[in-house]
Each structure stands twice: as C-alpha cells, then as structure tokens.
Chain A
Amino acid sequence: MTRIFVISILFALAACAPAGHGDPDIAVQGWARETAPGQSVAAAYLTIENSGPGTDRLVGVASPAAEQASLHSTTVEDGIARMRAINGGLEIPARGAAALEPGGDHIMLVGLRQPLVRGSDVELQLRFERSGERQVAVRVLEPGASPEPHEGH
C-alpha cells in the first residue's frame, strides 16, 4: 500500500515537473531576403515561439531552394563584422521564443538554385530535437525589410 502511495506521489511530481520536462509547442514564422540575380547565398529569418512547458532545440535546416542550409550568426565586435556557423543548434526556451533577425542569427542558404524573388515563398525544413521535422514557407521580402511579428505581445 505504501509503495503504491509513493509511486503515485512520484507520478504526481512528474506531472508538475519544472519547465523543460514537459513538451515544447513550437510555432514558426519567418521571411527571407531578396537576392540579386546570380547571387548564390541568401539569408532567412525566423521567429520560433514555444508555448509549451518544455525547451526544444533547432538542430538542423534544409531547403529545396538551396544546395545547403545552415544556422549562422553574425557578430560585430571591435568594429569587425564576422559570420560564423552556429554549432550545437539553437535553444528554444520553454514558454519563450528565439528570434533570428538581421545582424544576428540567421539561416544561411548557400548554392541558391534560383534568385529569391520578392513576393515568392521559400520552403524551409526545420529539424527540432524534440518537436521533430517542421516545414515552413517564408515570404521573400525586400533587403531592408524588418517585420516585427512580436508587435502586440
């Protein structure tokens, strides 16, 4: 009897486990930047919202629009702009969001099959550690675009 009681307590504790142990609930929106004819690289930006109690991690990206896609980060330090690959993926905090924005983290598309034309859509395949594969179509916008999907939050 005591054993059953202890086990049920443990289950109850598991149910109200701290954030990070529940399931993530991922929603993605984004945009890609228009490219010049002949330009072989492009950047796509995302807002990844996680309304669930569990953290997740964006661990892979691919796109039929490009030969390769990867997570990149731009930093400006001591006046020097540098762009590097992000190793180990990008954390999406529980009940939080990760923003990939101009001048920071972005999805780098390399080997574009054709230029990204304003107004068209680009397909992105995102792989999350816990939420699995997600397909998202992002709109191609002018180079100076800076949509703010967070407005009103």
Chain B
Amino acid sequence: MMRKLRILLWIMVALSLAGFAFLLLRGRAEPSPPTVQTSTVDFGGPFTLTGSDGRPFSSQRLAGRPHAVFFGFTHCPDVCPTTLARMVKLRQQLGSEDSFEILFVTVDPERDGPEEVGKYADLFGSPVIGLTGSPARIQQVQRQFGIYSRKSPDDQGGYSVDHTASVLLFGRDGRFVATISPEENDSVALGKLRRIAA
C-alpha cells in the first residue's frame, strides 16, 4: 500500500516535470509575433511647433502653400547655411518669393530657442521660417518627417548634431512630393521645385 502510494507520487512528480518542460519548450518554440505598428498618417502631416516669435506655429498656416522643409541647427556653420542659402537662391531663380515657403526646423531644441532660430533664419535675405519646440515635440515632428539626428560630442566640450541632409518638398495640398539632396545639381532641384510650385 505504502509502496503503491510512493509510486503514484513519483508518477505525479514526473508528470508535473514533463508538463513544466512542455510549457517551457512551447514558450520558446512559439515566440509571440513581432508587433507591427501601422499608421494612417501621411508622411509629414500636421504639426504644431514654436515660431521665432515664441508663439505656436501650426502647419495649418502652410495650407495652400508649397513648402520646402529643412532640419538643421544654428551651431552648424557649414552645411546648414549652405543648404538654406541654396534654397533661397533656387527660389529666386524660380522668380518669386511666393513660389514656396522655406522652413528651417531645429534638431537641437536644447540650444535653439525661438530667438536663435529666428535670427538664424533672418540671415538669408529672404523669408525663411525658423521653428523650434520642446525636445519631445521636435522628436515627434522628426519622426513624422523621417528625419534622423544624433548628437556627436566634439573635442571642445560641445557637440555637433549629425542630421539628415536632404530638404523635403511638399505641394500645395501638404502632400510630400520629393527631396532635394546636397549632391544633386541645381537643374534637377529646380525641376522638383517647379513641380511643387506649379
């Protein structure tokens, strides 16, 4: 009787071990499927940032206006002014300051407040809209526009910001049309700008 009970107990131990092992292996064999986030929001899309006057700037202000959006930062003395000056020059070649808006959005909101982006945007002798925002808001807008940025410490105790070099072009309806990269020549870029400004 005692012996039977002991065998029964051992069988129960073996079964529970087997069950435990089964659950463990099954858990490994069937990992939960990776979650895929889908979004119905258009590339770009509506945003609210802060203008150089310190007041909210809503993308609704761009309704019906073609626009070129460049993400940079004011501690960028080389590629950012080069790009913005080029956009201003191309706009002049199209013949009118009204042909499209030029937006400069900082990827360095910690250092670039409304005043900084505003004065920087004023350097180009032609209207450029300088925008900033809270770091969280800027990050969100960067995600919307597919913009990469990453701080890179320099040897002088400061930092530079690596960032997407291209300018994004949007049509009158606010829809993304094309990009302009620093490598492509002016005639290709002008062709794209004519398309959004048409």
**Which residues in A have some Cβ–Cβ distance to B below 8 Å?**
33-43, 68, 70, 72, 74, 76, 79-85, 102-103, 106, 108-110, 142-144
Judging by beta carbons under 8 Å apart, are B165 and A79 in contact? yes
Selected from A38, A84, A106, A144, the residue in CB contact (under 8 A) with B77 is A106
Most buried by A among B75, B76, B123: B123
B16 in contact (CB, < 8 A): no
Judging by beta carbons under 8 Å apart, are B182 and A108 in contact? no
Judging by beta carbons under 8 Å apart, are A108 and B77 in contact? yes
**Which residues in B have some Cβ–Cβ distance to A below 8 Å?**
74-79, 81-82, 84-86, 88-89, 115-116, 119-120, 122-125, 148, 152, 154-156, 158, 160, 162-166, 181-183
Instruction: List 12 other contacts, CB 8 Å, given A81-B162, A103-B78, A143-B81.
Output: A38-B119, A41-B75, A43-B77, A76-B79, A76-B183, A79-B164, A79-B165, A80-B163, A83-B160, A84-B160, A103-B182, A143-B85
Judging by beta carbons under 8 Å apart, are A80 and B79 in contact? no
Contacts of A102 in B (CB 8 A): 78-79, 81-82
Judging by beta carbons under 8 Å apart, are B78 and A72 in contact? yes
Report if A81-B165 is in contact (Cβ < 8 Å); known contacts: A38-B115, A38-B119, A70-B156. Answer: yes
Interface SS of chain B: mixed
Interface SS of chain A: strand
Contacts of A110 in B (CB 8 A): 156, 158
- A144–B82 alpha-carbon span in the complex (Å): 6
Selected from A38, A42, A81, the residue in CB contact (under 8 A) with B79 is A81
Judging by beta carbons under 8 Å apart, are B123 and A36 in contact? yes
Selected from A34, A40, A43, the residue in CB contact (under 8 A) with B123 is A34
Report if A85-B120 is in contact (Cβ < 8 Å); known contacts: A38-B115, A143-B85. Answer: no
Contacts of B158 in A (CB 8 A): 110
Contacts of A80 in B (CB 8 A): 148, 162-165
Can you name the residue of chain B whose Cβ is closest to the Cβ of A108?
A: B77
Judging by beta carbons under 8 Å apart, are B75 and A40 in contact? yes
Contacts of A72 in B (CB 8 A): 78
Contacts of B74 in A (CB 8 A): 36, 39
Contacts of B125 in A (CB 8 A): 142
Contacts of A142 in B (CB 8 A): 85, 125
- A120–B164 alpha-carbon span in the complex (Å): 33
- A33–B163 alpha-carbon span in the complex (Å): 21
- A135–B184 alpha-carbon span in the complex (Å): 36
Contacts of B165 in A (CB 8 A): 76, 79-81
Contacts of A82 in B (CB 8 A): 152, 160, 162
Some 13 contacts from A to B, beta carbons below 8 A apart, are A35-B77, A39-B116, A43-B77, A43-B81, A79-B181, A83-B79, A102-B82, A108-B78, A110-B158, A142-B125, A143-B81, A144-B81, A144-B88
